[in-house]
Structure formats: structure tokens, C-alpha cells
Structure 1
Amino acid sequence: MGGHPRHTTTAALATVCALLTGAGATGCGGLQSGTSDAELTVSTTTAIIADLVGRVGGDRVDVTSVVPLHGDPHSYEPSPGDAAKVTEADVVFSNGLLLEEPGIMKMVHNNAPKSAPKIGIAEKLEQYGGTVMKLEEDLGLDVLWLGWAVEGEVDGDGSQVRTTATKLEGPGDLRVYLTDTLGRPKAYVNSADGFDDEDSFTLPPEAHTHVNWAFSEPGTYKLTVEGRTETLDGKTSRIGSGTFTFTVGGEAEAPKSAAVLDGGHADIALNAETGKVYVRADEQKTGARTHHPADEVVLNVPARAKESVPKEKAYGFLGEAGDDVWVLPQAVIGKHVHGDMDPHAWEDVANAEAYVRRIEDELIKADPDGKATYEKNAEAYLGTLGELDVEVAKKLATVPERNRKLITTHDAFGYLAKAYGMEVAGFVVPVPNQEPSAAEVEKLGDTIREKEVPSVFLEPNLAARSDVLKRVAKDQGVGVCTIYGDSFNDEIHDYVSMMRHNATELAKCLGGDA
């Protein structure tokens, strides 16, 4: 087992870490490659998992991360170099629970040796003493938040479901698109140039993605979609179709038998097992999930959803700058595919301990001769994490109860809030796909003022979209502080430093004792 040559990228990362450490940076240890005595070559999907594996594996493990320090696992698109690294892996660790962009997992399944275990750590977290919680998404938007989803299982490891728009009837055009963490749009459905197989989304089973829906004219539209499964060997199978009705620019007119959805969170969904196509909706009052057949629901895009096409060239596919367009917004920054369970479990340090126990167990299975080393390293690091858990709890306990509210750009902190007595109060930029209008900026200010928070929080990898947030925060007299969710950066590149920073920053910026 093992014996692969050292990865060039891993060696380079070790050199960078050495330079950073020499300059006063800390915590590169988990990302450095092992020594020449490494027995296992390990590939991980994220730098956070790479750090944890490195702490347990020590010199017996040579570990690299597919997503780089600054990368976003929700949207990172792997390169040929990433695929080359995975081909050499004895073991592959991912987070699971659909944290990773589907293209990452497809690359892993296509390139990792069949003999290499592929372990989604969080998917068995409770067996190792951790806890997993449902992902609660509620931005309080005043229009419908509509995504795409796949329910049901698909035969074949790594298989996905493609949902394709095949026909549109209506007074104008429809564009369905995603924006990345830097606000760059990518159209997936565009009726203006006709429909073909490119007008589609692919999702893994039991997954959901956020999207923007933009209609060019008011009126009634009927959109037909169909789904098919796609296996890794290129085989496809059609599984169902349906037609959905949208009313745009006014009050919804619908048959008495049809449900009208004009707010809350819903998805156009395809069931891969039954072939049924429907809208699944989360009831705004109860949170219960309901399913509406395609021909028994009307999706309303009201007059208040009217926007103007942004002036940036990247949005030219929507029409001429300044043209009217009616938009159901994406609501969450970045390409973001996920399931029902919140994947960001490491934000509770007690869960990080469960990650470590799972990693220890899997490394021992892959390299039994290293059992004593892995047990010793895991025991020592679990001691460190236990102390860290107490430190984070004590620091956040100093935050006055009235200030224990998190307003962030990304819903990655539910575990932190639950574990340490905080509240996720909302998101700072409700419409990230374009520069907010004066009315939206005012609304953002109202939200911050109503929550009465001393500060809002921005993740470093989303800093490029922070100008509006900083301006509104300044106008409201509140601070803008930094918190780490899915990724590291040049200043923070290990888990302990990340959680220590988060606790210190939260305590300082929310009025506690840092």
C-alpha cells in the first residue's frame, strides 16, 4: 500500500507553508506533505479536511487538497492537475452531504483508483459521536425563492440527473442562470436562442441548487422540462417530464384547483425513481414540505420583482442594459448545490472531533501497520480539540445575549450557532447577482438596523463582493468583520487557527470580551 512518488503540488505547498511560517504564519502543518517515509497517498476535497487528515496521519501520510486554500468547495471546478493527483490516491476523503460541487465528486469517481476507498466523512458522523442537522434556509425574501432539485436515488455510483428545458410558451424570453461568488453569471437555460440539450442542469440524487429566473416581459408562461439519468459510462435514460405555469408582472390568475406560490422557498423538482415532476415547497408558517404536481401549481413573479438589466457586459444575455426584467433571485451567493442536511458540521468543534475519529478509523483500515501512529496522533489532536471547544465556548459566552446574532454572506454557521448559543439572523446580501438598487440597499440597511447587531460578517473568499456591504454597514454605523466558513486563506490555514479566529472575531465584533 502506498509507495507513490510525492506529488509536485504537495511539495510546493510544503515549501510555501515553510516560507509563511518563517514570516510568522502558523498552522501549515496539516497541509504539508509527509516525509519520504509516507505510506499512504491521500487526496481530500477541501483544505480543512486535508488539515485534519494531516494531523492524524503525520509522516505516514502524504495529503493534498483538490480545492485550494482560497477555493469554494460549492463552486470550484477541478482541473486536469487535480485529476492527476486523485489518480495516485490510496484513500480519498470528502466531506459529503453534498458540500462539494458535483463536478468535484464526478472527477473523483472518474479518476481515483477503484481500489481506493472514497469516504464522505460527515455522512456517518453520528456513528463517531458527531451530530448532523437539517439545513435551514430562510432569507425572508419578498418574492418566491425558486431552485431546481432532484429527489429519489439513482442506480450507479456517481450517476447524476439532467433536467432539460424543452419548450416555452409566453410573451417573452426566460433565462435561468447562476452567479458565482464573484458575481459572474452563467446561463443554463436561455429561450432566446431556442432550446437544445445545453439548456439544462445536472444534479446528483437528493440535491438542490439555487438559481435566478429572469423573464423579459409580463404575462403568463408555460415551461416544459424533462429529466434523464446519466451514468459515468455515458448511458442515459429518460425518466419524466412536466409543464409549469408562471404568471409574471401581476397578480396570479389560476384555476381554483391550483396552488399559487408567490413567496417562501420552493424547487422545480424531478423524482428520479418515480419520474414525476412537481414543485416541492417549504410552507412559510409551519416549515412542512409539500409537493404540487406540475399541472396543479402556479408560480407567481409579481410586479415588485421587476428589475433593470445590469450595465455589466456579463449580463448582456438578459437584454440591453436598463431593460425591464422580472427576476426571482438566486438569494445565496455562489454556485451552491446541496441536500437537506447542513454539510458545514466542522463549525462545531465537537463535530471536528468526530471527523478525526472517522479519519483515524479509515487510515488504520488502509494502513494497518500505522495503527499505533494514527492512534497516538489522533489522541493528541483530540486533546487539542477538546481544549479548543472549551476556549471557543468561553469566548462566545462573553457576547451579550442581545448581540448573539449572525448576519453573514453564506449559510455556513448553523452548527456554530447551535453549539455556542448564537442565532443565525440572516444574510447580508439578499440579491447577489447584481449591484443592488437604491431600494435594495435601503432594505439591507433596514435589516441590519432591525436586527440591532453591532457587526456583520464576511468570509474572506467573498471579499470581492463586499463593497456594498461595507457601504451599508458604514451608513448604519456597524462593523464589518471576518469569519471563516468553507475555506482558508494566506493568513489562516489550519482548523484550530480558523476556529480560534472565528471565536475571537465574533466576541470582539459582537461586544464580548476578546
Structure 2
Amino acid sequence: MPHVSRRLSGLVVAALALSAGCAAPEVLSASDDRVQVVTTTGLLADLVRNVGGDRVNVGSLVPDQADPHAYEPSLRDIRNVVYADVAFSNYLLLEQQAIIKALGANLDPGVPNISLAEGAVKYAAEIIPLVENVALDTVWLGMRVRGTGEQYGANRASDVYLSGTAVDGPGELVAYLTESFGNPEFYVDSTDGFDASDGYRDDTATLPPDAHTHMSWAFTEPGVYRLTMRAALAVSPDERPVDLGEQTFTFAVGVDPHSVPGMDGADVLGAGHADVTVDIDTGELYLLVDPHGGDGHAHAEVVDPATTVIEVPNKALHEIPADEGFRFLGRPGDPIFQLPQAVLGRHVHGEIDPHLWQEVGNAISYVELMRDTLIGVDPDGAREYRDNATRYIGELERLDAYVRDTIAAIPESRRHLVTTHDAFGYLGAAYDVRISGFVSPNPATEPSLADRRRLAETIRNLDIPAVFLEPNLVTRSSTLTEVADELGVAVCEIYGDTFDDEVTSYVEMMRFNAESLRTCLSEPAESDR
């Protein structure tokens, strides 16, 4: 595999030329009998042309190869807005705010101004929350008691003990809860060993029946950890606790959760709300999992720890803060993996991820919304718009199958996408690709030294053979290419939200991305050869 894609060597020159002046968009005109359509991006313009056919004239505000996150509209762009009969934007903060303002201020009253990402939800589009702190987008792992323990005479005053008795792994494991004023309360701490002679005091969470607690889980080194936990029920202070059972829980920390020794075919738990749970009616210890992150576990499922790996991904890698309250984790600045302590309710989310089209099914929803909007503007063309949309949706359904089958050919343990910025969540969710890392959440954000270290750790720990670069962001991707060069991995291309001279349509873009992933990820990393 070449270290750098054959086209990337020339992309810097092309991008610099682009910054001096992008190609002008198509011109809308009041004298043109066709429906005048303005879109914010070339990708949306391509979808509209497939639906509108000869009845529409389409102009895009953001030129190909330009970044919609940063592009400022020109006077020519404003002119196109003035002449538009309908406008399509993606919105959800994809486009530079100046573009959205230009549409709102210059469209004639009554001209449909359609936000596709929002409107497509009515056409069954799936949306993904964009997490403000990516470290929170992991599994939330707490501890829980289920059942009443009536057969033992338990009541509300009884105590249930969940104790850590052993940890096997490359580093230390600490499970703790941060109290209201920031002081840690320790539940499991392998740094001082495990002493069974002290009963149910050290390394123990004490809970009443039918209760649960949130906590943070910290790991000092990447690798596989196996934590053994024991449960007991103390019906009253005067009685000896009743031993209920013991179970081992497996964590994949910063490494591929599908390649844990002795766990072939295991399920991977990487999201939602889960609890290490003891059932005081049956004596079993298991994982109680709500994949939707709910706190009440109304839709929770019982999961067998013997066939489940709890994932602690590389995005959970942090530096220990300087605050003295965290000295128990190590020295300030040292790296540490941490599953965060959950709060009541859902994760702390920012906007909805705006890159819906990376799942072809969402692009179909865009097409259906475009079809109905054009029919509303031009009822005489209703039949043509419906026919065009039906034909194109059939093509997109075939594209969806092609992308799915192509990516499925990549070994599951190698389906890790590391790229320029966080724009491929929909592709990952729809086609079973793990978004294992990116330089920064937003392409306009300068990566920090911590971002760079986290990126390098991700690539190294997961033995990733290639990282992916969006051609239009090449001049702002030095961190990605430098880290790839240092680690000896390939740099391959992937398209996010814009076209160029090589990829000129949505169908071409999605086919290219699927083929690039298959080609670059199916081979081992150079360091493995």
C-alpha cells in the first residue's frame, strides 16, 4: 500500500489555488423559464438535479472543494439567492452562519426556504446527537441492586455489598464516585491491592436493595482488564452477610474490543447506560444495559458478562488534571483512560450531527423532501418530479447495498476510521464502522497537543493501517499527516461534504468512500509487516 494516496501529493497546490478564488457557481436568472433553485452546497445541488431534471436550474452557494463550515457568500451568491424560486440548505450548523443569513435576508417573501436536515426527519431520516465532549459518548457504567431479597428477610434497611476482589490487567483500575464538592469516594482501587481478610469494607460499594449508583472508572494503561466482583447481602447489622455470587467483567481499554483473547465472538458494550448488577433474588451478577442511555432502565436488557466486552475507547483518554484531588490517579499530565461518571438523564449533547447524507437512507429522505417541495412550487411538473425521484431512489437503494457490502468485506477488527474531523458518525452507525478518532471535532478548531497525543495513541493501540483525509481540508490537516508519517501508516482519501474534479456526484462520493475504506483498512499496518 502506498504511504500517501496518489492524488494527495498534488492537493496542497490545488487547495492553495482554490483559496485564491473558487470556481463561480451556476447563475440563476429571472428570464429562465425553469424553476430557479439555490442550494448551499454542491452535494445538495446534485440531489436536486436528479429530482428536478430539465425543469430546474440549480446553483450552489458553496463552490466545490470549498468548506461549507467556513465559506463566506459573495455578491454573486447573493444575486442567485434573490432570483431563487426555492432554497435548500442542510442547516444544523453545517453551513457558515453568513450563508444562512444570506438566504433569510434575500429570498423573496413566500419562497420556500427548506432546512433539509430538520425536514427530512418527517421522511424517516435518522439523526445522531453531536456530543460536546466526546469523552461522554461512551458507555456509562454504574452499580445496581435488583430484587427484594425477601427469601433472606431483607428490607429497606438491609445492605448489599458489591466488592472488587481481583484485577488482572496491564495497569491499575480505580472505580470512584465524585461527591458534590469534588471529593472522591472509592469503590474499587487496585493500587493498594485486595485484602479479603477485612470483610466487606475495602473495595466495596454498599447499596440498599433496589438502588444504583453512578461512578467513574479509570485505567492507567491500555490493554485488557478482568475485574472479579463478589456480592453479599447483610440483612441486618447483627447478622453475618450472605454470600450471593461472584463474576468476572472484561474491559478492552484503548484496544480492539473484538480481539480480546478468549472472547471470540463476544458482544461489545460501548454505549448507553449499563450497571454491574447483583440480583439479590437469584444471586446472579450480570450487566443490566439500556442502549438508549436511560437512567431508569425501563427498557434494560440482562447481558452475560462471560460473553461481553466493555469497551473503553481511545476517545476516553485524558490527562490527569493538576487538581490535588486527583493525585490518586497519578501525576498531573499523565494519560489515563476513563469512563465518566454519568449524570441524571441523557448525555450532554451539543447540536445534532449535520452530516446526515453519510448514510444513504438519509439522502433518500432528502430526495423525498425535495420532490414534494418542487411539486409545491411547480405543480405542473408533479409527474416528472415523482418519476425522477422514483428512478433516483432506486439508484440510491442500490448504492446503499453496495456501500454496505463493500464495507462488510473489511475484517471487523479493522473497521476503524480515523480522520480529519468528526463528520462520519452516520457512516459509522449505518455501516458498522467504528469512529475511533479524529484530529478535532470541528475542522475550524486548531488541534491541541493533547488532541495530537490522543490521535497517536489511538492509531498505535488499535494497530490502525490507514488514516483518512478529506481532500478539501488538506491545508488544515498537517496534524493528521504528520502523526501518520511518524507512525508509518497510510494516508487515504475520504469525502465528507464537498466534491472536486475527481468525484462529482453524491453516488460517486459514497462509492469512492466505501472502496477507499475497503482498500486501505483491509491490509495490515506497516508496523505489523
| Residue in 2 that maps onto 1:11 | none
Which of the residues 487, 491, 510 maps onto 2:521? 510
Question: For residues 372-411 of structure 1, what are the structure 2 equivalents within 5 Å?
Answer: 372-411=383-422
Asked if 1:56 is matched to 2:19, the reply is no
Task: Describe the SS at the equivalent of 1:409.
Answer: strand
Asked if 1:73 is matched to 2:68, the reply is yes
| Residue in 1 that maps onto 2:466 | 455
Task: Describe the SS at the equivalent of 1:456.
Answer: strand
| Residue in 1 that maps onto 2:431 | 420
Which of the residues 286, 296, 306 maps onto 2:342? 286
User: Deviation of residue 511 (structure 1)?
Assistant: 0.5
Q: TM-score, normalised by structure 1?
A: 0.54
Distance 1:452 1:137 in 2: 27
Task: Describe the SS at the equivalent of 1:135.
Answer: strand
Cα shift readout 1:34-54 (whole Å, capped 9, x = no counterpart): 9x9752000011111111001
User: What is the CA RMSD across the aligned residues, in angstroms?
Assistant: 3.4
User: Deviation of residue 381 (structure 1)?
Assistant: 0.5
Which of the residues 346, 351, 355 maps onto 1:340? 351
Q: Do 1:37 and 1:59's aligned partners in 2 also have CA atoms closer than 8 Å?
A: no
Distance 2:79 2:376 in 1: 24
Distance 1:365 1:113 in 2: 16
Q: Which runs of 5+ in 2 are unaligned?
A: 1-24, 137-320, 326-332, 334-338, 525-529
Q: Do 1:57 and 1:377's aligned partners in 2 also have CA atoms closer than 8 Å?
A: yes
Task: Describe the SS at the equivalent of 1:491.
Answer: coil
Which of the residues 65, 87, 110 maps onto 2:105? 110
User: Deviation of residue 126 (structure 1)?
Assistant: 2.4
Q: Do 2:85 and 2:111's aligned partners in 1 also have CA atoms closer than 8 Å?
A: yes
Asked if 1:126 is matched to 2:121, the reply is yes
| Residue in 2 that maps onto 1:145 | none
Q: Larger radius of gyration, structure 1 or 2?
A: 2
Instruction: Sort the Cα spacing of 1:429 and 1:344 in 2 relative to 1 into closer, same or farther, 3 A.
Output: closer
| Residue in 2 that maps onto 1:369 | 380
Instruction: Sort the Cα spacing of 1:402 and 1:288 in 2 relative to 1 into closer, same or farther, 3 A.
Output: farther
| Residue in 2 that maps onto 1:94 | 89
Question: For residues 414-493 of structure 1, what are the structure 2 equivalents within 5 Å?
Answer: 414-428=425-439, 444-493=455-504
Cα shift readout 1:316-363 (whole Å, capped 9, x = no counterpart): xxxxxxxxxxxxxxxxxxxxxx95211111000011111100000000
| Residue in 1 that maps onto 2:41 | 46
User: Deviation of residue 419 (structure 1)?
Assistant: 0.4
User: Deviation of residue 444 (structure 1)?
Assistant: 3.6
Instruction: Sort the Cα spacing of 1:120 and 1:433 in 2 relative to 1 into closer, same or farther, 3 A.
Output: closer
User: Deviation of residue 447 (structure 1)?
Assistant: 2.5
Q: Do 2:411 and 2:522's aligned partners in 1 also have CA atoms closer than 8 Å?
A: yes
Task: Describe the SS at the equivalent of 2:130.
Answer: coil
User: Deviation of residue 102 (structure 1)?
Assistant: 1.2
Cα shift readout 1:400-457 (whole Å, capped 9, x = no counterpart): 11111111111111111000011111113689866876x8755542231013211111
Task: Describe the SS at the equivalent of 1:355.
Answer: helix
Task: Describe the SS at the equivalent of 1:340.
Answer: strand
User: Deviation of residue 104 (structure 1)?
Assistant: 0.7
Distance 1:91 1:40 in 2: 8
Q: TM-score, normalised by structure 2?
A: 0.52
Q: Do 1:406 and 1:457's aligned partners in 2 also have CA atoms closer than 8 Å?
A: yes
Instruction: Sort the Cα spacing of 1:88 and 1:430 in 2 relative to 1 into closer, same or farther, 3 A.
Output: closer
Question: For residues 81-230 of structure 1, what are the structure 2 equivalents within 5 Å?
Answer: 81-140=76-135
